[in-house]
């Protein structure tokens, strides 16, 4: 009877330890090859801790269907300046995203409307897209802002900004119309909308998989 009681106590303790190690700690140990100028000198063990994703970054990845979002962070001794810099970095990222999205929409649309045609992709059109993207992003709204006091006396600020998707579709529409005029072909609205929807879905998938 005593042996059975001791056995059961040991099993309970083991279960408690296993549950605490699974649920409580996010620290793990990993081994990595250690390289020097002489090549691989063996392996070293380090601990690694799973980092929690910043709330603003999480919101940028989970944008609703009607929005495009971007995330950025900045560090500075002046906390207000850190926030301003973070917003500027996020705007630059969003402009870059819009330019890439519009470029892919133009390629997709051209493939649907003129199989043997070559997209002009002129410098003028690219400049127009860049200018329009910057104008759209200027009207963004900050939907998330976090500030952290760092141990060295500086501040880190993270932000998530958003713009509405219809504004981006207008930029793509103007770019496609300009290209159609240069190519001397008629604009096909339905195929444009199909191309925009397809590329927007790809864009969202890529953001989530980063």
* 88 in any annotated domain: yes
Residue 93 is predicted with a pLDDT of: 96
Which tokens belong to 173? 């529409």
* 102 in any annotated domain: yes
* 99 in any annotated domain: yes
Greater confidence (192 vs 118) lies with 192
184 vs 137: CA distance, rounded Å: 31
Residue 52 is predicted with a pLDDT of: 82
* Cβ–Cβ < 8 Å for 122, 164: no
Work out the average pLDDT over 55-84. Answer: 93
* 72 in any annotated domain: yes
* 130 in any annotated domain: yes
Model pLDDT for residues 100-142, shown as the tens digit of each residue: 999 999 988 888 876 555 566 677 788 889 999 999 999 999 9
* 129 in any annotated domain: yes
CA 93, distance to chain mean position in Å, is 9
Q: Which of 86, 89, 63 is nearest to 208 (CA)?
A: 63
Work out the average pLDDT over 48-76. Answer: 90
Model pLDDT for residues 58-70, shown as the tens digit of each residue: 999 988 988 999 9
* 193 in any annotated domain: yes
Domain housing 111: 55-209
Say how many domains are in the chain: 1
* pTM, entire model: 0.73
Positive or negative, the CA dihedral 149, 150, 151, 153 is negative
């Amino acid at each position: 009877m005593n042996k059975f009681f001791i056995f059961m106590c040991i099993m309970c303790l083991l279960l408690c330890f296993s549950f605490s190690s699974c649920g409580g700690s996010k620290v793990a140990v990993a081994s990595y090859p250690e390289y020097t100028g002489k090549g691989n000198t063996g392996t070293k063990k380090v601990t690694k801790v799973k980092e929690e994703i910043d709330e603003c970054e999480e919101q940028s990845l989970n944008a609703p269907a009607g929005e495009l979002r971007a995330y950025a962070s900045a560090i500075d001794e002046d906390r207000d300046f850190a926030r301003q810099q973070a917003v500027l970095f996020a705007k630059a990222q969003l402009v870059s995203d819009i330019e890439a999205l519009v470029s892919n929409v133009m390629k997709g649309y051209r493939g649907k409307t003129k199989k043997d045609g070559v997209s002009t992709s002129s410098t003028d059109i690219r400049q127009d897209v860049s200018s329009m993207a910057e104008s759209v992003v200027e009207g963004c709204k900050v939907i998330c802002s976090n500030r952290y006091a760092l141990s060295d006396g500086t501040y880190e600020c993270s932000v998530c900004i958003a713009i509405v998707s219809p504004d981006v579709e207008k930029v793509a529409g103007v770019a496609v119309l300009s290209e159609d005029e240069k190519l001397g072909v008629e604009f096909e609205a339905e195929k444009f909308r199909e191309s925009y929807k397809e590329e927007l879905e790809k864009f969202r998938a890529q953001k989530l998989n980063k």
